[in-house]
Amino acid sequence: MSLPHLSPDVARALKDRAPVVALESTIITHGMPWPQNLEMARSVEAAIRDAGATPATIAVLEGKLCVGLDDAQLEQLAQTKGAAKLSRADMAVCMARGGTGATTVAATMIAARLAGIEVFATGGIGGAHRGAETSFDISADLQELAQTPVTVVAAGAKAILDLPKTLEVLETLGVPVIAYGQAQLPAFWSRDAGLAAPLRADTAAEIARAQRMRAALGLPGGQLVANPIPVEAEIPRSEMDPIIARTMADAATHRITGKAVTPYLLQRIYELTGGRSLEANIALVLNNARLGAAIARELASLPAT
């Protein structure tokens, strides 16, 4: 069995030790509506190419773990109804059944490691949900960061989560949380979560060297690079907090649970912000893609450990 299936562009780049950036696919199937999801996917891939790296969007298509999608596959995925939302627990079952599914942060990290890709750019990671002290609802993304050696560039954890608890879990798991260019942890749509970041880096080169040093020390897991949304695209936390509180109450009223929570909340926030949350989401993903490409370029210039 050959795992994963590499697109020609990704296979060539990896063979040449050229920079490659992994991209998840749940943002396409579950995070944005059609046709904005396809436009976003194409724009993010183009931004990575323009920044001197090769994009590798990851998904399971008819049981095949694909690392790198062509434009026809991207369009097909963007219009797919009922694609599974895959994490570590259900990825293998979907593949064994010949199913189609979109990869979360955790599943994308697994596929990136299998392919030999060191950097992954996304929107925001999962984390500890509000009320996790009683529900134990904590994303598998955090455990994946603790064990899979991939640097993940995100605009922090999704702001609908319990960010202080998420940060505490990451600390317990030994995951480096590095804010890029500022001392504060960003909060997805907002640049400041009201929390100090444990670590700070101001250049892509610093981040790349830290990744190589972790490997040299034999430390498991990856790094979380928290890259703040561009100033011009930000929705301030003072504006977002009441909206998030209302969407959480709506979810509780309608008894939304499990994997359905995040897509429901994102859709309600989109409605309540008049579409501004989607515009901000696209801006931060593009920003993360560009930083991911810069880190991948720096890693390609360093000796492999």
So which residues are the catalytic ones? Answer: 24, 158
Residue 199 structure tokens: 């670590």
Q: Which residue has the tokens 């562009």?
A: 9
- Cα–Cα separations (whole angstroms), residue 291 to 73, 166, 216: 25, 23, 23
Determine the 3-state secondary structure of 151 from DSSP: strand
Pull the structure tokens for residue 125. Answer: 């990671």
- 196 strand-pairing partners: 184
CA neighbor of 6 nearest in space, from 82, 64, 86? 64
Beta carbons of 121 and 288 less than 8 angstroms apart: yes
Distance linking the first and last C-alpha atoms of the chain? 27
